[in-house]
Amino acid sequence: MSPVHTAVLVEGESDRQAVLAAASAEGRDLADEGILVVAMGGATNIERAVRTYGPTGRDLDLVELCDEPERHFFERYLDTDDIFVCSSDLEDELIRAMGLDEMVAFIEDQGELKPFRTVQKQPAQRDRTLAQHVHRYCGIRAGRKVRYAEAMAAQVAPDRTPPPLRQLLDWV
């Protein structure tokens, strides 16, 4: 096991699990490589994470995977070359990488097709697209967002890994 030299800062636990699962699917163990993946508990905690893991803390190399709406928080503290940005969020990137038909099959494989169809029929959801239904469903139940993000990242074909995640894995 290598000494820790890099911290990958991500917004939440679902992002952390997805990064670890995607690396594992490629036969990599980031911890063995000296890479720590840190869920910050939200984008607004970037300053504390940089203090803890950056030059004034553990003095690790820092890299970030973030969502486009939160990009500005990270640009204050990190070089833009070290920030990999998901267009909406990582779950959306994974959904697009897998494709909607595969996502519905994935939900069915999780034994949750019936509850998914129930959500689709709710009045507030009726006018939304299938992509919006899938994205919403992935995050509406405690624990599902983390579980799905991890499983989706492990299942997506390596040649279809979402660009920001691919770039991050190549960087580390």
In whole angstroms, give the CA distance from residue 169 to residue 52.
Answer: 22
The residue whose two tokens read 């490629």 is 26
- Split at pLDDT 50, 70, 90, the class of 114 is very high
Of the candidates 150, 168, 164, which has an alpha carbon nearest to the alpha carbon of residue 24?
Answer: 150
Average pLDDT in the 83-103 region?
Answer: 94
Average pLDDT in the 14-35 region?
Answer: 97
pLDDT in the model for residue 140: 82
The domain locations on the chain are 6-90+161-171, 92-149
Instruction: Please report, for residues 5, 31, 96, the alpha-carbon distance to residue 58 in angstroms, rounded to integers and kept in the order given.
Output: 9, 16, 36
- For residue 122, pLDDT over 80 is answered with yes
- For residue 113, pLDDT over 90 is answered with yes
* Mean model confidence pLDDT for the chain: 94
| Cβ proximity of 20 and 37 under 8 Å | yes
Q: For 36-74, write each residue's pLDDT tens digit.
A: 999 999 999 999 999 999 999 999 999 999 999 999 999
* Phi and psi at residue 62, to the nearest 5°: -115, 140
| Cβ proximity of 73 and 43 under 8 Å | yes
Q: Which CATH number fits domain 6-90+161-171: 3.40.1440, 3.40.50, 3.40.1800, 2.60.40?
A: 3.40.50
Average pLDDT in the 128-149 region?
Answer: 90
pLDDT in the model for residue 88: 87
